[in-house]
A = this chain, B = another copy of it.
């Protein structure tokens, strides 16, 4: 069983090696930051969380690494309307549940929710099946977001 903590090959090393990618400090550190938060971090967010301990890891590398991770399907990239890409781990070793998002258009807060996810998934699956056939479209992924006002922002109305 692949190690999940201290040393030894981590869960993602295999996938990396298999694709010819090298295991580097920057990549370790970036994945580490992502696996330790519930938030939806931007490239700069990650940079600033890393920078004090690893002043030699540049912002450019963060961008490049996030690109690699997104292509590998290890992270999801989102657009929550604040003009910068935000990322979350697709599925850490913790096995976080699949979820969707509530996005507040007032303050840009993002709430993860898993309620009704089962019904959603069921519908999505039927829909995917139908659409794949009708449009000859191979669906790989989906995005569901609700936009509105969080409690705070409703109060400020």
Cβ–Cβ < 8 Å partners of A146 in chain B: 127-128, 131, 137, 139, 141-143
Q: Is A111 touching B135 in the complex (CB atoms < 8 A)?
A: yes
Residue A140 at the B interface, CB < 8 A?
yes
Residue A130 at the B interface, CB < 8 A?
yes
Copies of this chain: 2
Q: Is B138 touching A147 in the complex (CB atoms < 8 A)?
A: no
Known contacts: A115-B130, A123-B123. The answer to whether A139 contacts B148 by CB under 8 A is yes
Cβ–Cβ < 8 Å partners of A113 in chain B: 131, 134-135
Residue A38 at the B interface, CB < 8 A?
no
Cβ–Cβ < 8 Å partners of A104 in chain B: 137
Contact with B along A100-131 (1 / 0, CB 8 A): 00101100000101011001100100111011
Q: Is A147 touching B136 in the complex (CB atoms < 8 A)?
A: no
Please give me the residue from chain B that is nearest to A144 by CB atom: B144
Binding site for B on A (CB under 8 A): 79, 102, 104-105, 111, 113, 115-116, 119-120, 123, 126-128, 130-131, 134-151, 154
